[in-house]
Structures are given as structure tokens and as C-alpha cells.
Structure 1
Amino acid sequence: MFEVSVIIPVYNAAEFLEKSVNSAVHFNEVKEIILIEDKSTDNSLELCKKLVSENPKIKLFQHPDKENHGAAASRNLGIEKSTGTFITFLDADDYYLPNRFNSEKKLFEDPKIEGVFGAISIEYITEKGRKEFQSKFSDTTLTTVNYPAEGKEVFKGLLGLTPKVFGTFFHLNALTLRRSSIEAHNLRFNEDLRVHQDSDFIIKLAYHCYLKSGIIDQAVAVRGVHDDNRITKIIKYSHEYNQRQFLLWQSQYDWALHHKVPKQYQKNIYLRYKSFDLSLKSGIKKFFSIILESIKNPKILKTQYRFAYLNR
């Protein structure tokens, strides 16, 4: 049976939360909406309680200590509390479109399919948010991949190892997973990452699970872009940007070693990790570190991330 648990981390989202919840609650496929309130400083908790009182599908949880633990920990708690056969995610300032589960219902008839992903569009909620987003990312109408793919092709595509450019990202809002597959591989979000936990999770997921593209030529969900989006505030290749990318690829590299991921993938992940490691060094130490690393791994000078450290 196609029963979905929708997990929504909630932190200072009172302005958007009701629209987000209402976009999901009406689907027949949605068994439950799990709100994980993460010690908001606005009235999000009161709004969560109101929504729970209005619909039995909606459930509210907080962390045991009722403190703030971040989106990764909130999603992990949501996974633990979920009871649906399938799991989806939704950010509290985003919303689903009416076609959200159109492809899943058919694709999941194939038992080997463990996850389905699609495309999302962008809604600019504030002018400042629009300017910040467009200054850092291409002004595209869809966040999606470039062609249909499944299985290991998805993992290789996310690492940039396919002959055609696959695309480097698809959004959690457009991802549906078999709960049994998440549990079988003990997949969780890295709680040490305050940003990029989604990218980290998706790449690991694509390695361990058989994913297939669903609707990739039109949006199945909408991402709201506004002044408080953390990712848009970071200046590309600034020290903060490089630090956060370093933590992401360090997480990936540690995982690749631990799980004995094939060497060709380990090498690709290592080059990204090392590029941002070098970017955080300075002065003469940085100069000699680049020289030594380029002798050991000449391909590092050809990565798309080389300017993160060579031009600073």
C-alpha cells in the first residue's frame, strides 16, 4: 500500500508553515504529516499545535530535551517517528504541487525501485531573497536533472562521472523513499552538518539504494526563496562557503572509506574534499600544500573547485 509519511522540520516558520502543511495534507496517499518543532523563537510551536488539533493526520514532536538541534537531527527524529511505508520530506517554507505523487504510484509497483525523485520550481517570496539567490545560482525555472536515469547512473551523475552532464542536485522536496530501504541501510542525515546535510544524504542514498527519476520536466514541489534562506546568504568561495563545502566532502570521504566505496568514486570524492581543505589554508603553508598535493594528485588542478583555493 502506498502510504506516505511527510516529514517537516519546523524552525521559525510560522509565516509559511500552514501553506506547507495544507499542500500535503489533502493527498489520499499521505498517511501522516510529522512536524518536528526545533525550539523556534517565533510562534511556530503554537501554530503546530493548532494544526494538530485541526487534522488527525498531523502529528507534532520535539526533541527530547526540547532544544534546537538543526534540520538534520529533526529529519532523523521524523524518520524514527514515521509509520508510513514511504517517506517524503518537505521544508516548512516550501509546498507540494497537485502532481507530487503522480509518478510514484506507478514506479513503486516495481519492487527494485527504492526511491523516486523529481523536479522543483522556485518561488521568490521577497525581492532581497531573489537577488541573493540569483547572484549565486543560475536563474533557472527548475531544479532538476538533465535526463532520466536510474540505479548507479544516478550516483555517478551526482559525482559528475557520467559522459553527459547529469546535474549535480535534486531536492529533498521531490524525493520519495521506501522506509524499509532507509532502515535496511541505516541511512540518516549527518547531524554534524548544519547545512548541506541534504546533499550529503542524497549522494549516500544514491549509492546504497536504487533510485529512479520520476517527473523531471515539470515541478512537483515549490521552494520558497526569501531573506532568511541560509544557503543564499553565503558568498561563493568565501571562507564560510569553503568551510561548509569542506565539511560536506569530508563527511562524504569518511563515508566512502568506511563503506569501501569503489576506488574510482573514492578518488573523485577525495579530490573535492582536498580542494576545499586546501582552500582553508593561507600564506606559505597554502602554497606548499598546493604544490605537494598537485604532485601527488595532478587531477586536483583540473577540478571545477580549483579556483576555490588557487584564486584566493
Structure 2
Amino acid sequence: MLHISVIIPVYNAAEFLEKAVQSAAQFDEVKEVILIEDKSTDNSLEICQQLSSETPKVKLFQHPDQGNHGAGAARNLGIEKATSNFIAFLDADDYYLPNRFDAEKEIFKDSKIDGVFNAIGTEYLTEKGKEEFESKFKETSLSTVNYPAEGEEIFKGLLGLTTKTFGTSFHLNSLTIRKESLEPHHIRFNKDLRVHQDTEFIIKLAYHCHLKTGCIDKAVAIRGVHDNNRITKIIKYSPQYNQRQFLLWNSLNSWASDNQIPSESRKRIYLIYKSFDLSLKKGFVKYCNILGEVLKNPEILKTKYRFTYYNK
């Protein structure tokens, strides 16, 4: 039987937290539900304390300084506190479905598999949240990848380097990973990225570990969409969006160089990073930089980002 630690970062999630915890604690495979309370301003801490006192599986932790450090740092603390040999993640405003670990039970019989990911669904909790989400994302009913894959194909697929479109990413709610697989390269979330730290983690994980698709045609978890989802608040290709993407791809570009990943993948990461770098420049300097980059790397014109800018 799998022994799984489910890590839930908690910040201002009082309205949803009990449902999330119960959805994880229901599984025999889940030996502990680790709540990392990140200095909420609502009564999330009190609910965490109540849940941990009522349910033996639930364990509550805070950062040593009891401060707010973001979801990345919270998940890292959860990884350090986890005692099971497998780790899964869940956002505090989401929940697991009864089939959450069905694929893992079979796939992890193969010892070479480090991690499994699946599809997730979407539930609209408010009308405003639904409007904002549907205006920004094409995958509204099922967030998944386009075909079964494993190993290097997943890493290349996430970077758009496969012959057919794999999909841009997958959600942490659908991922289960062997804890020991994180250690050789000390794979952790980038605590300096307040958003997109999950995307960076997934790309690094796909490179260093042997991942495999699980159930990709049916949801195993549900993402709750409401008025306060941060991901829906940013207008695509607005200056704030481009700045956040720049920080993500700048970090990945440094990682790719430090780890000497294959040249094709390294160059793709660089071109995406550079396209967002160029998008943040202004005026005549911007066009001089674009011209210089195009002369050096004509392939940058093939990126879907195309030095995007935002007019309003």
C-alpha cells in the first residue's frame, strides 16, 4: 500500500479548508494531512487547530517565525515535515475526488517511476470567479495533457519541443511523487517566486525525475474558482503578467545554465525568458534590443510570446 503525506499550504482559506482536509483524509493511503498555516488574516489558524485536534491524521505547522512566506515556502516546510514515502499536494480551496490515487496504485509498482500526475476538473464557486477564469483560460472543464507520456517526453512536452502539442503544464493537485526522488537534486519550490513557483517546480521535476501520466481523461481533483483566485486577477500580457513571467523564466534560465541541460531545451528556455525580458523594455531601447536579439537568435520570432505588450 502507498503511504502518502498530503501537503496543504493555508492562507485565508477558512471557507474551504474543512472540505479540502476531509477530501484528503478519507483515503487509507493518506497517512497524514500536513497543514502549513502561513499567517492568515482570517480565522484559518483556528480552523487548522480544530481540525488537527479532531482528526489524528491532521498535523499543523507554522514557520518558525510564524510569518507569511508564501505558498512555495509553505510547501517546502511541508516536504521537510512529511514522514511518508510519497508526497501529494492540495490547495486549501480545492478538494480530491474518490479516484484520486487509483492510477498511482498500479503505476508505482514500477520502481523506476518517480512521479505520477493526472487531470483535474474545475468548480465555479462564484459567478465573478467563473467569468474571470473563462476569460483567461481555454481549459475550463478539464485541465490535462493531450496524450499519455513518460520520462523525457514530459519535460520536452512542457517546453513545447515535441512533434505534437503536449500541454503547457499540469496542476500540483494531481501530482504524487516519491519523497526520496526529490533529494538527489534537492528539488524544492522557489520561495522567492510568490506566483508560478508551481510551474518552475514541475519543469525541474520533469527534468530530474521520471514522471508518468496517470488518469488524464477524467478528473481526480477539483479546483475551486472564486473571486479571490490570484491567477485570474492578472490580465494576460499586461505589464504585471509579463513581469511575473519574466521572474519565472529568468529563474529557469539560470537553472538550465547551471545544470547544463540539453542545448535544445536550454535554448527554448532562454528564448522564452528573453521574450519576456524584451516585453518589459520601453521605447526606442526596446526596439534596438529586439533587433539585436533577432539578429543573434532568429528563432525567437517563433516563440508564441513575440515580445508582447499591453495597451489600455
Q: TM-score, normalised by structure 2?
A: 0.98
Q: How does 1:10-29 map to 2 (within 5 A)?
A: 10-29=10-29
**Structure 1 stretches of at least 4 aligned residues deviating more than 3 Å after TM superposition:** 309-312
Amino acid paired to 2:122: I
Amino acid paired to 1:9: P
Deviations 1:256-311, CA, capped at 9 Å, x for gaps: 01111111111000000000000000011101011101110111112100051498
Answer whether contact 1:278 1:309 (CA < 8 A) is retained.
no
1:80 maps onto 2:80 in alignment? yes
Answer whether contact 1:119 1:220 (CA < 8 A) is retained.
yes
> What is the root-mean-square deviation in Å for CA atoms of aligned residues?
1.1
Amino acid paired to 1:22: Q
1:224 maps onto 2:250 in alignment? no
Answer whether contact 1:275 1:309 (CA < 8 A) is retained.
no
**Partner residue, 2:41:** 41
Q: Secondary structure at the match of 1:293?
A: helix
Deviations 1:30-72, CA, capped at 9 Å, x for gaps: 0100000000000000000000011110000000000000000
1:295 maps onto 2:295 in alignment? yes
Q: Which moved more, 1:105-114 or 1:138-147?
A: 138-147
**Partner residue, 1:125:** 125
Q: Secondary structure at the match of 1:184?
A: coil
Deviations 1:71-102, CA, capped at 9 Å, x for gaps: 00000000000001100000000000000000
Change (3 A) 1:311 1:44: closer
Q: Secondary structure at the match of 1:88?
A: strand
Provide the rounded CA distance (Å) in 2 between the counterparts of 1:250 and 1:156. Answer: 18
Amino acid paired to 2:221: A
Q: How does 1:1-312 map to 2 (within 5 A)?
A: 1-309=1-309
Answer whether contact 1:75 1:189 (CA < 8 A) is retained.
yes
Answer whether contact 1:100 1:220 (CA < 8 A) is retained.
yes
Q: Secondary structure at the match of 1:256?
A: helix
Amino acid paired to 1:308: T
Amino acid paired to 1:216: I
Q: Secondary structure at the match of 1:231?
A: helix
Answer whether contact 1:157 1:167 (CA < 8 A) is retained.
yes
Q: TM-score, normalised by structure 1?
A: 0.98
Amino acid paired to 1:189: F
Answer whether contact 2:155 2:207 (CA < 8 A) is retained.
yes
Answer whether contact 1:120 1:218 (CA < 8 A) is retained.
yes
Flag structure 1 segments of 5+ consecutive residues without an equivalent: none
